[in-house]
Amino acid sequence: MGRTIENYLKEMGIGEAQSFENMAVFPLTWPQNGGPEYITLREALERGVFTVTETSEGGSVPELRVENKGDVAVLMLDGEELAGAKQNRIINTTIMVAPKSGLKVPVSCTEQGRWSYVSPEFAESGHQMDRKLRSVNMGAVHASLASSGGFRSDQGRVWQEVAKMSDDAQVVSRTGAMKDVYDAKGAELDDYLKSFRVVDGQKGMLVFLDGRPVGFDFVSRPEAFGRLFPKLAKSYAMEAMLSAQEAKRRAGRKKTRLFGQGPGEGKSAEDSAAEESGARAKTAKNPTAGEARSFLAAAAACDEQKNASVGLGSYYRCAGPGLVGSALAVDEAVVHMAFFGVDEGQQAGPMARMSSRRGFRII
C-alpha cells in the first residue's frame, strides 16, 4: 500500500458506534485537512454550474458527458446515481472534475427497461448503489483497468444485481430501475437513517451489518461528508434492511416447519442459516472499536495499483484477502476512499487472484 493511503488508514480516528437493528456505524475522523477545494455533485447541480447529459442525441450506455462551469472542482463518488435523460446511470468510479472543464465519464445503467428521453439533462436521484453492488461494480472496474486500462463495469452483472435487489425488496419496477426500489422502501430506510448522525469533524463511516464489518467510506472534507452522509448511510441501510427482512422470513418458515415436527427430525440448512443470522443479529449492536480498527488494518495491508484518474488526480485500486478498495488522491491528499468486504468468488483480476490465495475472508 502506498505510504499516503496507508498513513490515512493507520491514523484514522474511530468514534463511538451508533446502532439500529442489525446496523452499526463507527464515525471516522482524520486529524488534518488538505487537498483541493471541491463541492459535491448535488451542490454543483443545485447551483446550476454543473450539467450531466448523454454524450450525443443517440446516447451511449457506458458514458455520459459532464461539464463544470463553476470556479471550484466537483466530486462525483462511485455509485452515485443520476436520473433522467435516456436511462438512469451510476458513476463507475470516483471522479474530481476540474473547474471550467468537461469530461466523458464512465457509467453503468441502473434502469434496464428504458431507452428514451424523459429530460434533456440528468438530475441527482438522491440514491447510491448499495454496498454489495458497489463492491461488485468496483471489482469489475478494477478487472477492466487491469485488462484494458478502462473504467468499464460488467453491465450484465449490474442489471442482474439490481433485479435481485428488486426481488429481495419485493418491489416491482416497470423499467427495472434501482431508483424505484429505493423510492418504494423510503419509509423503512428512514427508520435506519434517523438513528445515525454526523459528529463534529466526521469525515467517514465504517459500517457493520449483522455483526460483521462490511465497508467504509472516507471523504477528505467534513462539510462534504456531511452532505454525502444521508446518501451513503442509505446505501448501507438498504443492505441491512433486506438482510433483516430475509432473516425474519427464514425464522417464519422455520416456525412453520417446526410446528408438528416429529422427534428426531433434523434441522435443514435453511434452519441453520436462520439461527446463524439470528445469532449475528444479537451481537450486531455491539461491535467493538478494536474490530473496526482491525478492518482498517486489513485495508492498509492491501495490494495496490496506481492508475491515471478520469479527472483530476490519481486512482488507486486495492485488493486484499476478502477486500476490494479504491482511493482518489489529488495533490498527494486522499480525497475519497472506500473499501468493502467481498465474497471470495467476487474478486476478479490479477491482484484479486494473488490475494485470494491467502485464504482469509472478512465476510
Instruction: Give the pLDDT confidence of 25-54 residue by residue, as tens digits.
Output: 999 999 887 679 999 999 999 999 999 999
The confidence band for 352, taking pLDDT boundaries of 50, 70 and 90, is very low
Question: In 10 A of CB 67, how many CB atoms?
Answer: 16
pLDDT for 229 beyond 50: yes
Largest CA distance in the chain: 74
Q: Considering the domain boundaries, does residue 147 fall inside one? A: yes
* Mean pLDDT of all residues in 295-307: 95
Across 178-193, average pLDDT: 96
The DSSP symbol for 306 reads E
Q: Is residue 150 assigned to a domain?
A: yes
pLDDT, average across residues 3-32: 92
Residue 156 falls inside a structural domain: yes
CA distances from 68 to 96, 318, 329 (A): 10, 29, 20
What was the pLDDT predicted at 32? 80
DSSP 181-236: HHHHTHHHHHHHHTT--PPTT--EEEEEETTEEEEEEEES-HHHHHHHHHHHHHHH
Report the side by side order of strands in the sheet with 73-76: 38-40, 73-76, 95-97
When pLDDT is averaged across residues 128-145 and rounded to a whole number, the result is 96
For 167, other C-beta atoms within 10 Å of its C-beta total 11
> Contact at 8 Å (CB) between 28 and 229?
no
At residue 262, the pLDDT reads 52
d(CA 159, CA 61): 13
Averaged pLDDT score across all residues of the chain: 88
Given pLDDT bands bounded at 50, 70 and 90, which one contains residue 7?
A: confident
**Of 239-248, 293-302, 315-324, which range is least confident?**
239-248
| Residue 85 falls inside a structural domain | yes
Q: Are 349 and 142 in contact (CB under 8 A)?
A: yes
Q: Does 265 fall in a domain?
A: no
* Beta-carbon count within 10 A of 108 CB: 26
Q: Give me the pLDDT at residue 1, please.
A: 45
DSSP structural state of residue 111: B
In a domain, residue 264? The reply is no
Task: Read off the pTM.
Answer: 0.87
Which tens digits make up the pLDDT trace of 83-92?
999 999 999 9
Residue 279 has pLDDT above 60, yes or no: no
263 lies in some domain: no
SS3 324: strand
Tell me how many degrees the CA angle 165-166-167 measures, rounded to the nearest 5.
90
Contact 8, 25 (CB under 8 A): no
- Determine phi and psi for 235, rounding to 5 degrees: -65, -35
Residue 361 pLDDT grade (very low, low, confident, very high; cuts 50, 70, 90) = very low
pLDDT of residue 93: 98
What pLDDT shows up at residue 53? 98
The pLDDT of residue 189 is 96
pLDDT band at 355 (very low <50, low <70, confident <90, very high): very low
Give me the domain span that covers residue 138: 3-255+271-356
Give domain status of residue 173, yes or no.
yes
> Is residue 73 within 8 Å of residue 224, measured between CB atoms?
no
pLDDT at 275: 56
Which three three-digit cell numbers place residue 242? Answer: 433486506
**Alpha-carbon torsion, ordered 126, 128, 129, 134, to 10 deg:** 170
Q: Which of 73-77, 214-218, 266-270 has the lowest mean pLDDT?
A: 266-270
348 pLDDT exceeds 50? no
C-alpha cell at 120: 434533456
pLDDT per position as a tens digit, 137-183: 999 999 999 999 999 999 999 999 999 999 999 999 999 999 999 99
Are the CB atoms for 67 and 50 separated by under 8 Å? yes
Q: Given this model, what pLDDT does residue 253 score? A: 72
Total structural domains within the chain: 1
| The residue count for the chain | 363
Higher-scoring residue by pLDDT: 187, 260:
187
